[in-house]
Structure 1
Amino acid sequence: MSTALPDYYFRIRENGALVFRIDSETRNRRIEMDQIAVVNLRKGEIKPQGDRALSDEDLTAIKAWMAERSALLEAREVDDILRTVDHLNLTAQWAQSRASDAQLDAVTETLLLAMHDLRNVLVRKKADRLGREA
């Protein structure tokens, strides 16, 4: 295991992160975390903390993190959808084999409306894609 600390720490928050520069070369061997920026992934913004000016090294590290984080979130989003497909299959099996009448009464309308809405969106998006290809 490496004992070297990274130069930057990104505290994840919704839509981005707080960026800290790590300093482990302090006199008392304490780890200092100095907040240098706030990142908003959705807007693609990097805001320096206070009156601070970010160095080229800071910006390069932050932009690399932003690219990696965006790719990770995109992959997770697709994985979540594929898990939803699995869950829909498990729900169908549950409804067919184990659900009581009372349980089905409790979920049927909500499930049907959600599935109808999803089907409409998927069909419309598919038609849009096919229209662009033609």
Structure 2
Amino acid sequence: MSGDLPDYYFRVRENGAFAYRVDTQNRQRRIEMDQIAVINIRNGQIKPHGDRDLSEEDMAAIQQWMDDRAELLAWRDIDDIHRAVDYLNTTAHWAQSKASDEQLEAVTDALLLAMHDLRTVLVRKKTDRLLKDD
């Protein structure tokens, strides 16, 4: 393990994280993590843990983590969409070249409904963008 640990650790959870201050400067030279806050990334809320007051340094580290996390999640969202395009292409190839009649029967209705829903949303959004540009 590296001797240069960060000053803060963030345990990610579904809608944010628990923020910890990392301490290695103790007599036993153990890594101690002291929970300092609970972060909700969706609404931007930062709740100090217990009755503690967060320092400016704590708040700056938490805010930086929130900014970095939001950027990462946005990147992951668009990456997932690019993967979905690949999956659609792979699915089309599978349906055309490999799928049995039974397999197609099992998935056709669900795929058609999902693609129809997606197409409807995409066409509506594209129309909204085009009308907004005019």
* TM-score, with length taken from structure 2: 0.98
Alpha-carbon offset, residue 2 of structure 1: 4.3
Q: Superposition RMSD on alpha carbons, in Å?
A: 0.9
User: Within 5 Å, which residues of 2 pair with 1:94-113?
Assistant: 94-113=94-113
In the alignment, what sits opposite 2:81? Answer: 81
Alpha-carbon offset, residue 131 of structure 1: 1.4
> 2:48 aligned with 1:27, yes or no?
no
| Number of aligned residue pairs | 134
Counterpart of 1:126 in 2: which secondary structure?
helix
Counterpart of 1:5 in 2: which secondary structure?
coil
User: Within 5 Å, which residues of 2 pair with 1:1-134?
Assistant: 2-134=2-134
Measured in 2, the distance between the counterparts of 1:81 and 1:6 equals: 33
Alpha-carbon offset, residue 105 of structure 1: 0.1
The one-letter code sitting in structure 2 at the alignment partner of 1:131 is L
Residues 35-94 of structure 1: CA deviation (Å, up to 9, x unaligned): 000110100111100111100000000000000010001001100000000000000000
Alpha-carbon offset, residue 127 of structure 1: 0.9
Counterpart of 1:33 in 2: which secondary structure?
strand
The one-letter code sitting in structure 2 at the alignment partner of 1:68 is D
Counterpart of 1:19 in 2: which secondary structure?
strand
Measured in 2, the distance between the counterparts of 1:3 and 1:76 equals: 31
Which structure 1 residue ranges, 5 or more long, are not aligned? none
Q: Which runs of 4+ in 1 moved over 3 A?
A: none
